[in-house]
Structure 1
Amino acid sequence: MDLSLAEQLATIFKTEYLYLPSAEKISALQGQWYLDSYRTSVVTWLQQISCILELDEQTLSLACNLCDRMLCVQRFDASKILHLAQSCLLLAAKLTETEIPSVFEFVEVCRLGDSQSIVEMESFVLRVLNWKVSSSCTAIHVARLLARLLGMNLKAYALKKVYSEIRRLEASSMHVGIPSSSLGIETFLSVLLNGFSLVCASDVRAIESALKECGVEFCADSVAGLHVNRALRTDNCASQAKRRKIEQKIPDIDNSGCRNDEFDSRSESNCDSPVSIRFGSN
């Protein structure tokens, strides 16, 4: 295991509380209306702007984090929240992107105010958050770090699935305030263990060991639980397939003595149903 990567994860677990928004504080400052409906619109808008500017997944994740944290400590009129989101996205891009879009590009794409107003809001965000804007404390970064820690060269479609699921969860107000380590690691492992045949029992033991060394016992326990769940579902599917083959060779005989070749499949479980993600606590 790469000790430098393990140390990076361990550091994130110890310091991420400094970068967590609070759903309770947002509710108190902005009213429940923001969490119930308006936040979804803000995140959707940020996703659209990120797509147009071709920004990285982590940039979007960090922008949502910064926006939520600002709303925890500062009240904004509804008409100004998109202006805040715009500046948070620009700030996030400066921290994560190798090719940073110019302020003028943001003005042209977002069509919210001028360059001066964007820069002024960006400075305001930095002052209010006391410059605590780490790009490492996002669920996307944690998931990427975990993949490197485990030495997994995941294919593009697998990572795309992980990022898509993290985006979906981050867009939900229910997950505001969830530690990035929990969101990133357990989403990554849930997709990996239940959606793709990329790991075996020895891989699972290696994952558990790596997470325990980083000091996240709750995630290590989740790995074992997810793997057992997948194994049970796989055995169940195999048993059903074997039973169907036998039944096809020996059709049922109903009470009237007539052959009945139709089999009731309503009781069969859905082998592709997703496993719910359990978030632990630090």
Structure 2
Amino acid sequence: MPSSVEVFGGGTAVITGAGAGVGAGLARHAALALGMNVVLADVDEAALEHTCSGITRDGGRATAAVVDVRDAIAVQALADRVVKESGPVRLLVNNAGILQFGYLWDTPVANFERLVSVNISGVFHGIRAFMPHLLAQSEPACVLNMASVGAVTAWPLQTPYIMSKHAVLAMTECLHQEVGLAGAGHIQVGAVLPGAVTSRIFDRAGGVDSGDLAAAEQEREAMFRVRERAIGAEEAAATVLQQAADGEFYIVTQPESVLAAMRDRAEQLTARRPPAPARSRFTTPPSQ
């Protein structure tokens, strides 16, 4: 198998949501370990500049672009500018994403709509803006869409996020088929399903304004405890880009746990078994 340096080294990478977390880890690894010219896109200008300046200070090539992936026109402008200034794109990672805690019926409408716009529409905007350029170029290209282990699970109190990651996985599977149908053999498509990776996504996650506020905050605290066992963002990035270099479609950061979740999902669907009401207060027997 070729190394990730052999496959991606020296090319141009575009990574959304690159200001922090997994996106920042991917940007640093692509620039510093693989020698790529990396365009970092994020709506958070301060985080973006911090990550970008750190890469350039350490000797990497990086450019910051303040872009809101919810804005299709802005994403299209980014794609056109990158191709004009840097040439063919070797790697596109649609990574930007946000999270929401709380019961679905307590979720503020604005929070739900924002999450859908970032997590689902943001990926679509990236695909729609960059794919014509990738189809027109002769050089190989790789499109990675950031799903989650949540894309193959059902998990209460994070329903909008879980729903969005199922959508991203389905979008990526269909995109893979469409690329093949279009005869674009030089374009690789992959779905990234990370497990727990160090990130600030839990800190920044939306909550609820009314209803069961305690349940939403308890779920946030539970995720903070999960984060204590998470792997580092750059470690995850190295795994992701090596599996992409290996030609994998389903890319996982922690094979043992993520593949187990995939097997459980397949067995549940085959058995037509409804998802267990995990941790639901409605099914918890009253204390004696």
**Same fold judged by TM-score > 0.5?**
no
Q: Which has the larger radius of gyration?
A: 1
* Higher strand residue share: 2
Q: TM-score scaled to structure 2, two decimals?
A: 0.29
Q: TM-score scaled to structure 1, two decimals?
A: 0.29
